[in-house]
């Protein structure tokens, strides 16, 4: 089975790596890594390939940055050509970035001149196009101002197979009328990457680069348009971070979108004024996770970090009005937090009053294995 595994942006790489490693060991599977090039900086892409022991992408579309329509359209045009040449049997898309929806759209409309034949659930069907599987399906913030929410909704409607990370995602899909037999809760694939590299992560001491000690600092990541695109909000955020850094040192690896806006609106000097606020470039996977393992708390607007901190029991303040990952609030260490409340909530965490957390079903480092089993049991070439 020729399987295209699509990756595009930083949060995708730790989702595709465990799957690629599991599939490459199967005799029936030919996994092909397709990188759309949505993220292209060394420290947003290549460093992750290296840490996660991924080979050079087999296919690189080299799309780069652009407006939403531009980026989505360019990926669709380039990937449609690849689909026609390569004729994969299965296209696996992950997460919720523009390339996720773009590749799903291209794959859902392509028709191969000669149908390949696959057997699904023991009933023979003729394939005029590849099947589409969405890994991390069913997450919903119910906030359609987020580009990612649009990407999630469209990708899930187009997918033939929906692999969810938690039961709430199954419920969302069923509520939207998606047939139950397409949906399977397989768990959180990012935990596979974390467990795969745990030893290497624990061997590092990246905090020393900033002259810090374990559990003595906070880690910050911010890049959502809702936090960093409006100059007034960004300025407020900078001032709040400076105030917090008086209480606890902060390490804030700055995402390119955020850096661009800080520079454009001349706000970088606010952050640079604080001796306790460190602003490295984005860190590689292993180095970043080492900082997560050792920090006292995380302040973020990322999706994935809400999950990683919940799994590790690290307090997380999410600077958003909603989350598509509610299980990190009900069972994990995550709290949604308004900008005005960050200082107050940080002080509570520094005092040691932290949320309890419970293990989450299937967040156990075995998600890629479950997917491989599902594929080998349910699909085979005839």
Regarding 260 and contact with ligand UD1 (CB under 6 A), the answer is yes
Q: What is the closest distance, in whole angstroms, from the C-beta atom of residue 118 to ligand UD1 in the complex?
A: 30
Instruction: Output 38 or 334, the one with its CB closest to ligand UD1.
Output: 38
| Strands (DSSP E) found in 140-296 | 161-164, 183-185, 218-221, 250-251, 277-278
Place of tokens 């806006």: 261
Least Å from the CB of residue 336 to ligand UD1: 17
Which tokens belong to 374? 């599902």
- Virtual torsion, Cα 158, 159, 160, 164, nearest 10 deg: -150
| Contacts with 254 (C-beta within 8 Å, 6 or more apart), sequence order | 262, 279, 280, 281, 282
35 binds ligand UD1 (CB under 6 A): no
Looking from the CA of 267 toward its CB, the CA atoms found within 13 Å total 23
Candidates 4, 223, 255, 265; catalytic one: 223
Q: Is the dihedral of CA 154, 44, 318, 234 positive or negative?
A: negative
Residue 120 CA, distance from chain mean position: 28
- Put the strands of the sheet holding 90-94 in their side by side order: 59-60, 30-35, 2-7, 90-94, 131-135, 161-164, 183-185
User: Going residue by residue from 4 to 23, which x/- string records binding to ligand UD1, judged by CB under 6 A?
Assistant: -----xxx------------
Q: Does 44 bind ligand UD1 (CB under 6 A)?
A: yes
Query: Exactly one of 73, 231, 256, 280 binds ligand UD1 (CB under 6 A); which one?
Result: 256
Closest CA to 75 of 112, 34, 32, 33: 34
Using CA atoms of 91, 139, 359, 135 in order, give the dihedral in degrees to the nearest 10. Answer: 0
Of 229 and 364, which has the nearer Cβ to ligand UD1?
Answer: 229
Among positions 40, 46, 58, 229, the unique one binding ligand UD1 when judged by CB under 6 A: 40
Pick the piece of the chain touching ligand UD1 (CB under 6 A) from 3-11, 214-222, 313-321, 340-348.
3-11
Q: Is 4 a catalytic residue?
A: no
Stretch of 21-29, 74-82, 94-102, 284-292 contacting ligand UD1, by CB under 6 A:
94-102
> Could you say whether residue 136 binds ligand UD1 (CB under 6 A)?
no
Candidate residues 3, 91, 97, 312; the one interacting with ligand UD1 per rule CB under 6 A: 97
Rounded CA gap, 256 and 142, in Å? 27
User: Which of 1, 6, 33, 38 is close enough to bind ligand UD1 by CB under 6 A?
Assistant: 38
- Report 264-303 residues binding ligand UD1 (CB under 6 A): none
Q: Where are the beta strands (DSSP E) in 301-363?
A: 316-318, 334-336
Task: Choose one: 21-29, 34-42, 83-91, 352-360; the region binding ligand UD1 (CB under 6 A).
Answer: 34-42
Phi-psi region of 2 (alpha: psi -120 to 50; beta: other; left: phi over 0): beta
Number of residues that bind ligand UD1 (CB under 6 A): 19
Candidates 31, 99, 92, 34; CA nearest to 70 is 99
Of 285 and 379, the one with the shorter C-beta distance to ligand UD1 is 285
Instruction: Kindly indicate which of the ranges 46-54, 105-113, 253-261, 341-349 contains the residues binding ligand UD1, using the contact rule CB under 6 A.
Output: 253-261
Query: Considering beta carbons, is residue 10 or 129 the nearer one to ligand UD1?
Result: 10
| Binding residues vs ligand UD1 (CB under 6 A) | 9-11, 38-41, 44, 65, 96-98, 147-148, 223, 255-257, 260
Which residues are known to be catalytic? 223
């Amino acid at each position: 089975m020729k399987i295209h595994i699509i990756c595009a942006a930083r949060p995708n790489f730790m989702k595709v790596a465990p799957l690629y490693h599991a599939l490459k060991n199967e005799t029936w599977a030919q996994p092909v890594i397709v990188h759309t090039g949505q993220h292209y900086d060394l420290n947003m892409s290549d460093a992750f390939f290296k840490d996660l022991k991924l080979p050079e992408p087999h296919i690189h579309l080299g799309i780069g940055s652009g407006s939403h329509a531009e980026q989505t359209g360019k990926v669709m045009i380039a990937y449609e050509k690849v689909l026609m040449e390569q004729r994969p049997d299965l296209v696996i898309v992950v997460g919720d970035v523009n390339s996720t929806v773009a590749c799903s759209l291209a794959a859902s409309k392509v028709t191969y001149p000669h149908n390949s034949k696959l057997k699904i659930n023991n009933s023979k069907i003729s394939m005029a196009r590849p099947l589409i599987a969405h890994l991390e399906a069913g997450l919903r913030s119910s906030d359609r101002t987020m580009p990612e929410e649009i990407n999630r909704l469209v990708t899930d409607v187009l997918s033939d197979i929906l692999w969810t990370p938690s039961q709430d995602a199954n419920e969302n899909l069923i509520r939207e009328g998606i047939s139950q037999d397409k949906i399977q809760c397989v768990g959180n694939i990012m935990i596979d990457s974390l467990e795969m590299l745990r030893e290497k992560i624990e061997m590092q001491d990246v905090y020393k680069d900033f002259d810090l000690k374990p559990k003595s600092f906070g880690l910050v990541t911010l890049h959502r348009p809702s936090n960093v695109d409006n100059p007034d909000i960004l300025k407020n955020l900078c001032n709040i971070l400076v105030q917090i850094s008086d209480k606890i040192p902060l390490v804030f690896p700055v995402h390119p979108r955020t850096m661009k806006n800080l520079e454009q609106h001349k706000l970088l000097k606010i952050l640079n004024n604080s001796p306790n606020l460190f602003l490295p470039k984005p860190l590689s996977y292993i180095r970043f996770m080492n900082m997560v393992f050792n920090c006292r708390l995380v302040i973020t607007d990322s999706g994935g970090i809400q999950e990683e901190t919940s799994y590790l029991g690290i307090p997380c303040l999410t600077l958003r009005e909603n989350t598509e990952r509610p299980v990190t609030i009900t069972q994990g260490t995550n709290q949604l937090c308004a900008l005005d409340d960050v200082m107050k909530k940080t002080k509570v965490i520094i005092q040691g009053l932290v949320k309890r957390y419970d293990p989450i079903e299937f967040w156990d480092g075995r998600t890629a294995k479950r997917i491989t089993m599902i594929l080998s049991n349910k699909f085979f070439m005839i």
